[in-house]
Amino acid sequence: MAQTLTCAEVDAQVLRGLAPAGRGYWLAVSLCVAGILLGAGCWAYQIATGLGVVGINVPVAWSTYLVNFVFWVGIAHSGTLISAILFLFRARWRTAISRSAEAMTVFAVMVAGLFPFIHLGRVWLFYWIIPYPNQRTLWPNLQSPLLFDFVAISTYLTVSALFWYTGMIPDLATLRDRGRGLRGRVYGLLSLNWSGSHEQWHHHGWAYLLLAGLATPLVISVHSVVSWDFALALIPGWHSTIFAPYFVAGAIHSGLAMVLVLLVPLRRVYGLEGIITGQILEQIAKTLLLTCLIVGYSYAVEFFLAWYGGEASELGTFVARARGHYSPQFWLMLGCNAVVPLVCFLGRVRRSPPALFAVGVAVTVGMWFERYVIIIGSPTHAYDPYTWRLFQGPTWVEYGVLVGSFSLFFFLFLLFAKFLPCVSLAEVKGELTSSAAEESP
Amino acid sequence: MSRDRDRSLLAVFTREADLVGALGVLRGRNLSCRVYSPARCEEALAVLGLPPSPIRFLTLAGFLSGTVTGFALCAFTALRWGLIVSGKPVLAWVPFVVVAFELSVLLGVLSTLAGMLLLGRLPGRRLPSHYDPRFSSDRFGLLVRPGPEAERVAAELRDAGAEDVRDVEG
């Protein structure tokens, strides 16, 4: 880690990224804005024309919008894994990357939260889906997995955002003390006039620990709940007890991949190689390797259960996955998620940032197709053969919205990287001072 | 006498270990001290001997109130609807666990944050007048109420490695 740096050098290196933007930054922002406009335009076209412009039909009620929703919720998982679970395990390598991973979590949940709105035909009536008591005294059915999902994801967004902000308060004070004018005043307001007194650190430390303790079961529960949207339905390929751990492992897998996709360029552009070291990337790669093995095992177990269970429809669904209409997507998923990351067994791959970036991209693609294969592949090969192979999408409108969602995610991350410290200054300094104390006689 | 009570010494250190050494000596003489640091300083907190933060009781209270609220909300809405859904009884406690758990975490987190703000006196109206902006960067501060021994304490702080010792209000 960054033992050779001093506290002042950590400040200088991290806060250098907050300097006025160069041409490269504006180019990246422009590309993202163009992508967002494309997505917004496609959505506007869908609203004006009707939901028929996307591949929605009777078995595939959400088209790829549900694929995108589950994909982005999954991406959100690693942030809390890195910031909360690894914090409880005292894994020091998380320190330098936790802030960016938490930001990724918050932005991914925000993007995911758009898709329930996008899939609505008349979005201006969105408040009809909000569970509130109406004049007919009908209340939402809180036994429904959809309500579980609503409660779980809104809780996750709230908790992730608060956890992110709590950890950032001391760093906002650093920005306040260095800032001038309006920017300094805004940071001062956000820092809540934090002074760094021992009383504040004492209570902050306890609060952070307790938040990590609460966020850890939450992160496990959220994707379990998302998986129950499917597992509680009587559809072959969905109705399985393996779904909760399978989805959680997949979510962490995709989140770690996105961490690599974001951090490898970030550390290079911001010159943070001394803080986000190659050793840290290697630890991420090893964790990715672990989740790859779990995900690969889950794929195998799904097939085993279908065969061992002896249920013809279930077996038919899985045979169709491997050999049927969606087999290209299935094999792409298998290759990207369960085979490509195995290259991380090689030390030279783990130590090569470009190779890790490529693995991250491959897993991100693979995880999107995993959601596609599960969410679209299963209802289009259900009990009734009339549903088979019915999905004709995604249409160009769906591709446009998908591009828009990625653009919005990267746009938010670019804003974060320009206005907030992308490395937790206080935590890295804490590691430095504690290392120095351990070394001193 | 009252001047001594209002008077404090602020020592600025470059090394955490020096601050912890000085803090140990001064706390040994029961002098009132406050530490400022750019990061959480475990050793200083240990020397100060603070009891565990009561935030944990607020967390527990928030968590339990979330559990009760979650189950109560589910039971209330189910009784208002009053129909058997999916073959489950109207009061189906097992699926209610999911909502109760999520609300427990949510209220636990909100009460934890409320506790941190309350006990850490955040947001503060203004920073202390003796606050040095370097405390959020790379310096450690030790604020001491020296009482009548101000000269002696100031000398001890300098001997302990303080790069700057000054009289401040507070």
Tens of pLDDT, residue by residue over A344-400, are: 999 999 999 999 999 999 999 999 999 999 999 898 888 888 888 678 779 999 999
Distance CA A59, CA A37 (A): 30
Q: What is the pLDDT of residue A438?
A: 62
Is the separation of the CB atoms in A159 and A220 below 8 Å? no
Q: What is the pLDDT of residue B85?
A: 75
The CA distance from A156 to the nearest CA of chain B, in Å, is 8
**pLDDT band, residue B134 (cuts 50/70/90):** very high
pLDDT tens digits along A117-157: 999 888 998 887 666 666 666 778 888 888 898 899 999 99
Question: In angstroms, what CA-CA distances link B169 with B4, B22, B120?
Answer: 10, 20, 21
Radius of gyration for chain A, computed over Cα atoms and rounded to the nearest angstrom: 23
Q: Which of A211-225, A275-289, A301-315, B79-93 has the lowest mean pLDDT?
A: B79-93
| Three-class DSSP labels, B84-141 | CECCECCCCHHHHHHHHHHHHHHHHHHHHHHHHHHHCCCCCCCCCCCCCHHHHCCCEE
A218 and B105 within 8 Å at the Cβ level: the answer is: yes
pLDDT of A169 above 60: yes
Q: What is the pLDDT of residue A56?
A: 86
A143 and B96 within 8 Å at the Cβ level: the answer is: yes
Residues in B 34-53 with any Cβ partner in A closer than 8 A: 34-45, 48, 50, 52-53
Q: At B83, is the secondary structure helix, strand, or coil?
A: coil
Name every chain A residue with its beta carbon within 8 A of the beta carbon of B126: 193
Nearest residue to B41 (alpha-carbon basis) of A174, A98, A200 = A200
Greater confidence, A275 or A392? A275
Calculate mean pLDDT across residues B151-156: 90
Residue in chain B nearest A439 by alpha carbon: B17
Is the separation of the CB atoms in B47 and B23 below 8 Å? yes
Calculate mean pLDDT across residues A248-257: 93
Calculate mean pLDDT across residues A329-343: 96
Question: Is A435 within 8 Å of chain B by CB?
Answer: no
Of B36, B40, B113, the CB nearest to A166: B113
Nearest residue to A57 (alpha-carbon basis) of A400, A403, A391 = A391
Q: What is the pLDDT of residue A249?
A: 93
pLDDT tens digits along A28-48: 999 999 999 999 999 999 999
Instruction: Determine what percent of chain A is predicted with pLDDT higher than 90.
Output: 66
Calculate mean pLDDT across residues B100-118: 97
**pLDDT band, residue B1 (cuts 50/70/90):** very low
Of B55, B78, B101, the CB nearest to A203: B55
Of A148, A178, A204, the CB nearest to B99: A148
Length of chain A: 441
Structure-token match 């910031």, residue found? A83
**pLDDT band, residue A437 (cuts 50/70/90):** low
Q: At A279, is the secondary structure helix, strand, or coil?
A: helix
Is the separation of the CB atoms in B135 and A198 below 8 Å? no
Q: What sign for the dihedral angle of Cα A193, A96, A104, B67?
A: negative
Q: What is the pLDDT of residue A425?
A: 92
**pLDDT band, residue A283 (cuts 50/70/90):** very high
Q: What is the pLDDT of residue A388?
A: 80
Q: Which of A133-142, A223-232, B50-59, B153-162 has the lowest mean pLDDT?
A: A133-142
* DSSP structure string for A187-235: HHHHTTT---BHHHHHHHHHHHHHHHHHHHHHHHHHHHHHHHHHHTS--
ipTM above 0.90, yes or no: yes
Question: Is A207 within 8 Å of chain B by CB?
Answer: yes
Tokens of A194: 């934090």
pLDDT of A3 above 90: no
Greater confidence, A315 or A81? A315
Question: Is B131 within 8 Å of chain A by CB?
Answer: yes
